[in-house]
C-alpha cells in the first residue's frame, strides 16, 4: 500500500502524511501519529474500548516478535476489511484513532504545589 492509496482511502478524513518507520510507514495528521502501515496492512492507534470495537469488527492487533521469541502488542489494531472499501468508515475510525493518539500524547495537567 503506497502513499497514493492511503491518501485515497482517507480522503474524507483529511490530509494524511506518511513517514518511514520500522520497515513500514507511520500515518500522521496534524503532526500526531495515529496509525501504521506494515506489510501492506493499516493499523490504528487504540485504547481498550476502541480495541474491543475493532476486534468485534474482525480486526487484529499489530504484534511483533522480540529476539527472545515473545510476541509484543503495542496498542495498534488493523483497519477492519469493510473500511478498506468505505472511505467514510475509514475516516470515522481514523478520527477516533487520532483522538486517542492525541490524548495519549497530551501533557499531564500541571501539579498544584502542596507548599504555601
Q: What CATH number does the domain containing 99 carry?
A: 3.30.1460.30
Is the confidence at residue 98, as pLDDT, over 80?
yes
Strands 71-78 and 24-29, by their bridges, are: unpaired
Q: Say if 53 falls within a structural domain.
A: yes
At residue 72, the pLDDT reads 87
How far is 62 from 43, CA to CA, in rounded Å?
Answer: 7
Exposed/middle/buried for 13, CB within 10 Å: 0-12, 13-18, 19+? Answer: buried
At residue 74, the pLDDT reads 86
What pTM, to 2 d.p., does this model score? 0.86
At residue 21, the pLDDT reads 84
Q: Say if 114 falls within a structural domain.
A: no
Output the CA–CA distances (angstroms, integers) from residue 35 to 14, 39, 67, 68, in the order listed.
Answer: 14, 13, 24, 26
Q: Say if 111 falls within a structural domain.
A: no
At residue 69, the pLDDT reads 87
Q: Say if 113 falls within a structural domain.
A: no
Q: Say if 110 falls within a structural domain.
A: no
CB within 8 A of 102, min separation 6: which ones?
A: 32
Domain interval for residue 45: 3-105
Is the confidence at residue 109, as pLDDT, over 60?
no
Quick one: cell of 80? 477492519
How far is 41 from 35, CA to CA, in rounded Å?
Answer: 10
Q: Say if 90 falls within a structural domain.
A: yes
Q: Say if 70 falls within a structural domain.
A: yes
Q: Say which residue, 51 or 21, is predicted with more confidence.
A: 51
Is the confidence at residue 111, as pLDDT, over 90?
no
Q: Say which residue, 104 or 1, is predicted with more confidence.
A: 104
How far is 71 from 66, CA to CA, in rounded Å?
Answer: 6
Please tell me whether residue 81 adopts helix, strand or coil conformation. helix
Tens digits of residue pLDDT in 52-80: 999 999 999 998 888 998 988 889 999 99
- Could you give the number of structural domains in the chain? 1
Q: Say if 112 falls within a structural domain.
A: no
Amino acid at each position: 500500500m503506497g502513499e497514493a492509496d492511503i491518501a485515497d482511502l482517507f480522503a474524507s478524513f483529511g490530509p494524511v502524511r506518511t513517514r518511514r518507520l520500522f520497515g513500514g510507514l507511520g500515518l500522521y495528521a496534524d503532526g500526531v501519529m495515529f496509525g501504521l502501515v506494515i506489510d501492506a496492512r493499516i493499523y490504528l492507534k487504540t485504547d481498550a474500548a476502541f480495541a474491543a470495537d475493532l476486534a468485534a469488527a474482525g480486526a487484529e492487533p499489530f504484534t511483533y516478535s522480540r529476539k527472545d521469541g515473545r510476541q509484543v502488542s503495542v496498542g495498534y489494531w488493523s483497519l477492519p476489511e469493510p473500511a478498506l472499501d468505505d472511505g467514510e468508515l475509514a475516516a470515522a475510525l481514523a478520527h477516533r484513532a487520532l483522538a486517542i493518539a492525541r490524548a495519549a500524547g497530551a501533557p499531564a495537567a500541571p501539579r498544584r504545589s502542596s507548599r504555601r
